[in-house]
Amino acid sequence: MTARIDHLVTSGTFALDGGEWDVDNNVWIVGDDTEAIVIDAAHDAAAIEAALGGRTLRAIVCTHAHNDHIDAAPALAEATGAPILLHPDDLPLWQQTHPDRAPDAELTDGQELEVAGTTLKVLHTPGHAPGGICLYAPELATVFTGDTLFQGGP
């Protein structure tokens, strides 16, 4: 089965430095009909789980630890048994949102994640957040950038 990219938009709140904003976030699901990886478990674990459609979730990858990208990660991990992966430089941000639940494993620059016969290469891209990462999927001709690149961003 060939890997594909599924896209879900979830809505919630982004909070930082005393401010709070209503936001929409992209959730990306990379996989095939049997297994997948979720990139940025934002806002709504139940909606993300429904979008998986019964596929085995291999990992929950966080491109960075601003709350609007990670707030649903623990609930999704609890529901699916999938590990949460985060670059260690973003652990202080993670702990602001989830002080009682640590990520399960670290992401490192150059690390390769495999799902559905597709490789996702981790690229450490600090700037928007200290532990920001992008995921390069050459077989899919795609780079998942989180908030490293976004409309209206720096």
pLDDT band with cut points at 50, 70 and 90 for residue 151: confident
Helix, coil or strand: residue 150: coil
Structure tokens at 3: 């890997």
Element (H, E) at 135: strand 133-137
Count of CB atoms situated within 10 Å of the CB of 21: 10
Q: What is the pLDDT of residue 154?
A: 53
* Structural domains for the chain: 4-107 (3.60.15.10)
Buried b (16+ CB within 10 A) or exposed e, 85-110: bbbebbeebbeebbeeeebeeebeee
Position 153 confidence tier, pLDDT thresholds 50, 70, 90: low
| DSSP string for 37-79 | EEE---S-HHHHHHHHTTPEEEEEE-S---HHHHTTHHHHHHH
Cα 107 from Cα 148, distance rounded (Å): 16
Sheet with 4-16, strands from edge to edge, namely: 4-16, 19-31, 35-39, 56-61, 84-86, 105-106
Dihedral sign of CA atoms 54, 78, 143, 145 in order: positive
Mean pLDDT of 107-119: 98
Q: Can you read off the two tokens belonging to residue 65?
A: 């630890």
Specify the pTM: 0.94
Per-residue pLDDT tens over the stretch 17-43? 888 999 999 999 999 999 999 999 999
